[in-house]
Structure 1
Amino acid sequence: MFGVPRNRFLIKTFSCVNYIHFSTMGRDYYEILEINRNATDADIKKAYRRLALKLHPTSNREPGNYERFRQLGEAFHVLSDLGKKATYDKFGEDGLKCGIPTEFAKGGAWSLKYAYHNNPEKTFKEFFGSDNPFSDFYISDLPLQFGGLTLGEEKIKDDPIERDLHLSLDDLFHGCTKKIKISRKVMNDNGCTSSIRDKILTATVKPGWKEGTRITFPKEGDQGPNNIAADIVFIVRQKPHAVFKRLDNDLIYHAVVSLEMALTGFSVEVETLDGRLINIPFNEIVHPSYKKVVPGEGMPLPHNPSQKGDLIFTFNVHFPEKLSAESKLLIKQALHY
């Protein structure tokens, strides 16, 4: 019937049937993958991913490790295939590799014997899609960037993500709180896929902070299974002010005055950043390089906000475009020593 003596066929049938149904010998593929027998397909894949990266010869050169890596590949090769897994669950490793009788199959033919190809690197490559599991690939249509690490490397922290935070001079004088909405990639609970989620960051601005001050939110960048999330850094940028110009902790007030005022005196009324009106008299002659310093009316000191810098007045003297002869004579007489 099968090209062999009938007695030989009966002996093979008898020995294999008894061996398959009653033998408990053979390796435990579930134990090799460190999972239980109720594990789902996702559990099997997750376990293989973790152990394959751990045991791959590139990252683990311990004696005997390659055999563990080979057994891992074989265990996954069987349990990730529904047909092989069903045979293994019912008949064990020996039944899987010996072949089992199909009880109701035509002619009582034997199933094919299973033999692993003994190339765990091939299994590894088929699973990850590459010899390098950290290259870009897609899971559930969602691109997931692994950062290009090679096996055996430790996680590397991504470079800081820097963004400008534009603040008014009033914000920097009084201090303020800014809410900043960010969108970032966050790992899902399965440790393999990610999703985009929004988060609100709260930046507390202290009185007196200067241009260039850095506000750091540690590890708030994109998450990935093989990287340490980057810090997000906001850098203070000061918006122009309509009245004052800032110089370190001092405020500069620039005024335009007539020649008459520069020579005869005047006063300037200024509203400070904290809402007070101050009136500053100028009785000196205002010359081109003239400055007047009003102490304690500048910006709060960053490390001691109760102390302030100075308010400095500078001027542009507006000269008349022309003078009559009579006016010139009067000016000469007035300036004559």
Structure 2
Amino acid sequence: MVFIWTQFGVKHKNVNVKCKVRVMHRDDSSSSSSSGESSRSEQEAPCLSIKPVGKDFYKVLGVAPDSNEDEIKRAYRKLALKFHPDKNSDADAEDKFKEIAEAYEILTDPKKRSIYDQYGEEGLKNGSGMSMAGHSSTHCSDVKGDARATFASFFHGSDHFDIFFEPDLDSEEDLFNPFSRFAFSHVGGFSHHEGGLRRGRRRLQGVAVVHDLLVTLEEVLRGCTKHIKVTRSRLNLDGRSLRSEDKVLNVVVKKGWKAGTKITFPREGDETPNNTPADVTFVLKDKKHSQFKREGSNIVYTAKITLKEALCGCTVNVPTLDNRMMPLPCSDIIKPGAKRRLRGEGLPYPKSPSQRGDLVVEFQVLFPDRIPPQSREIIKHSLGKC
């Protein structure tokens, strides 16, 4: 008679543990032996590895068993966009989408992932298996959840949001900002963009309300805070009717910011039924200045001089943005359109506010309307040698 006793290992993160097989032989004639002991032989033999029963969630997401949470999230993001049933018309897209969501829910929960790594999908269903390892009972119904809710929560942090999208993500910016390509309409749907997108069926956000924000060059030089009152629509408690309310937004303009810079206040705009409030965006515009015009971080001042000053030399007093006067000696002949620079008297650089651009002095030569005959002869005689 042969008795076989096996000692099986378990699978931890897809690493198979060897098992031992002990074979015990008992001869029929051994019963007459005075010792009463059986002759035994023991040997190690290879055995099949024990694999967790159920789905391989790492394979579902296309990640390695030792992947970290960021790698799992990136994999889920890519696959969820690809197989969303509202975008993918394949027959198995919805099942694949649910399977991806289930894998993500389990592998991003440290406790569920630990149970799955040791006991597989069956371990999540079988409370007794986990109690042996000191874990509380967990059922698969707890981890499957709603695939659409998982998707909405992942991309927008709310289960009241649903999007339609283009899954062709070809850059890091697209990957981490899945809404960067989509324009929204006030009525809760997507506008016609990049070939057209279908309308969302859940809670969407309206188009940002855009306002121009006029700033003077002096404000750009020093930086400032603008207190802007906006009037917006807000839902009443019944969720249907609207009320009008005012709110003051504090718009911070930093030193050196250029025209066209956008400052956005999320969800501070109008709210309509079934939509989240729109954003409010301010776009910087340079207010016309009486003395200077702006060229990037430089400012330009036009100095008007006479023909005599242009030919014979002069000293021009140039104003600055901080109300100083800087003398600029000009001993050479100044031609119309000539420029001189006062270094570091312009606007701060946006990325390095401690440094400033230049104040560019552009000369405009004023020619006389007429010259007396006597002066004409003198000038003709003097210029004849030039």
Normalising by the residue count of structure 1, what TM-score does the alignment of the two structures yield?
0.53
- Deviation readout 1:92-115 (Å, 9 max, x if unpaired): xxxxxxxxxxxxxxxxxxxxxxxx
Q: Select 1:243's aligned residue among 270, 276, 291.
A: 291
Do the aligned residues in 1 keep the contact of 2:339 with 2:363 (CA within 8 Å)? yes
Structure number with the bigger relative contact order (C-alpha 8 A, sep ≥ 6) is 1
- What is the one-letter code of the residue matched to 2:239? G
Instruction: Tell me, in whole angstroms, the C-alpha distance in 2 between the residues paired with 1:242 and 1:152.
Output: 50
Q: Select 2:187's aligned residue among 147, 163, 173.
A: 147
Matches within 5 A, 1:193-212: 193-212=241-260
Using the TM superposition, give the Cα deviation of residue 321 of structure 1 relative to its aligned residue in structure 2, in angstroms.
2.1
- Residue of structure 2 in register with 1:45 after alignment: none
Q: Which has the larger radius of gyration?
A: 1
- Residue of structure 2 in register with 1:304 after alignment: 352
Q: Per the alignment, in what secondary structure is the counterpart of residue 374 of structure 2?
A: helix
- Deviation readout 1:78-131 (Å, 9 max, x if unpaired): xxxxxxxxxxxxxxxxxxxxxxxxxxxxxxxxxxxxxxxxxxxxxxxxxxxxxx
Using the TM superposition, give the Cα deviation of residue 152 of structure 1 relative to its aligned residue in structure 2, in angstroms.
8.1
Moved more, 219-228 or 159-168: 219-228
Using the TM superposition, give the Cα deviation of residue 271 of structure 1 relative to its aligned residue in structure 2, in angstroms.
2.6
Using the TM superposition, give the Cα deviation of residue 192 of structure 1 relative to its aligned residue in structure 2, in angstroms.
4.0
Unaligned runs of at least 5 residues, structure 2: 1-185, 190-197
- Deviation readout 1:255-302 (Å, 9 max, x if unpaired): 211110001111111231122221111111111231112211111111
Instruction: Tell me, in whole angstroms, the C-alpha distance in 2 between the residues paired with 1:321 and 1:195.
Output: 65
Corresponding pairs, count: 192
Instruction: Tell me, in whole angstroms, the C-alpha distance in 1 between the residues paired with 2:334 and 2:234.
Output: 63
- Residue of structure 2 in register with 1:283 after alignment: 331
Q: Per the alignment, in what secondary structure is the counterpart of residue 270 of structure 1?
A: strand
Q: Select 2:372's aligned residue among 313, 318, 324.
A: 324
Q: Select 1:170's aligned residue among 215, 218, 221.
A: 218
Instruction: Tell me, in whole angstroms, the C-alpha distance in 2 between the residues paired with 1:211 and 1:196.
Output: 31
Instruction: Tell me, in whole angstroms, the C-alpha distance in 2 between the residues paired with 1:160 and 1:282.
Output: 52
Do the aligned residues in 1 keep the contact of 2:313 with 2:331 (CA within 8 Å)? yes
Instruction: Tell me, in whole angstroms, the C-alpha distance in 1 between the residues paired with 2:367 and 2:241.
Output: 72
- Deviation readout 1:150-205 (Å, 9 max, x if unpaired): 99812121111111111222112211111111121223344344322211100001
* Misfit runs of 4+, over 4 Å: 148-152
Instruction: Tell me, in whole angstroms, the C-alpha distance in 1 between the residues paired with 2:233 and 2:259.
Output: 30
Instruction: Tell me, in whole angstroms, the C-alpha distance in 1 between the residues paired with 2:213 and 2:382.
Output: 55
- What is the one-letter code of the residue matched to 2:267? K
Q: Per the alignment, in what secondary structure is the counterpart of residue 154 of structure 1?
A: coil
* Seq. identity, %: 40
Closer/same/farther in 2, CA of residues 327 and 180 from structure 1, 3 Å limit: same
